[in-house]
Amino acid sequence: MKGVTFVFATGTSWMDSLVTMVTKSCWSHVALRFDDDDLLVEALAGRGCILQSGKKYDGWVPSLTVPQLVSEKAYEEMLQLSHQWATENIPYGYRTCVAIGIKEVFGQRAGRLTQGCLSEKSRETLVCSEVLVRLWRIAVPRFLQGQDPSLVSPDELFRQLTKEFHYFQN
């Protein structure tokens, strides 16, 4: 078994404020740390999907970490896909963020309709929570089964994880 850690955080940008206001959550962002490799994968506005030092959020306030163990096979597959996305320079999904916001305010159907109307290009982008849902489905295939990973907000991901996991630390 190998360790991964979900890192929930909130920054101070206008986008962080908008996300927390619309989702009524204290979390505007989520990343995944590959503990054994000290690497963090995340999708950031303006940068897209990236890999960087796993220590980025150490001491970040507010933040919350959720450590988990996964099989070595799942860990390697998750890490390999993260490297692939980072190498491909997949851009950040601003339009997807709009669709998530619409979904949070008006419901799932409205979010799907918005996403469909905005652009085909939104399927070629990633947002932070989508990255984690897609990666976590490698370890737990039934995770958020039936839900489009691109429409999952950081708060929705957090709520689903709190149902499944009982260990949280600040």
Question: How many structural domains does the chain have?
Answer: 1
CA 31 from centre of chain = 6
Give the HSE-up count for residue 139: Cα atoms under 13 Å, Cβ half-sphere: 19
Q: Please say if the pLDDT value at position 146 is more than 80.
A: yes
Look at residue 123 in the predicted model and tell me its pLDDT: 63
Look at residue 21 in the predicted model and tell me its pLDDT: 74
Q: Please say if the pLDDT value at position 103 is more than 50.
A: yes
Q: How far apart are the first and last CA of the chain?
A: 23
Asked, for residue 104, whether it belongs to a domain, the answer is no
Residues 6+ apart with CB under 8 A from 17: 28
Asked, for residue 116, whether it belongs to a domain, the answer is no
Asked, for residue 114, whether it belongs to a domain, the answer is no
Look at residue 52 in the predicted model and tell me its pLDDT: 96
CATH assignment at residue 28: 3.90.1720.10
Look at residue 120 in the predicted model and tell me its pLDDT: 60
Asked, for residue 151, whether it belongs to a domain, the answer is yes
Highest mean pLDDT among 71-85, 116-130, 146-160: 71-85
Look at residue 119 in the predicted model and tell me its pLDDT: 64
Asked, for residue 106, whether it belongs to a domain, the answer is no
Look at residue 169 in the predicted model and tell me its pLDDT: 43
| Structure confidence by residue, pLDDT tens digits, 33-86 | 999 999 999 999 889 999 999 999 998 888 889 899 999 999 999 999 999 999
Residue 52 domain boundaries: 2-88+127-164
Asked, for residue 39, whether it belongs to a domain, the answer is yes
Look at residue 82 in the predicted model and tell me its pLDDT: 97
| Structure confidence by residue, pLDDT tens digits, 3-35 | 999 999 887 777 766 777 777 778 888 999 999
Asked, for residue 118, whether it belongs to a domain, the answer is no
Distances in Å between the Cα of 25 and the Cα atoms of 9, 15, 37, 90, 139 are 11, 13, 30, 27, 26
Asked, for residue 121, whether it belongs to a domain, the answer is no
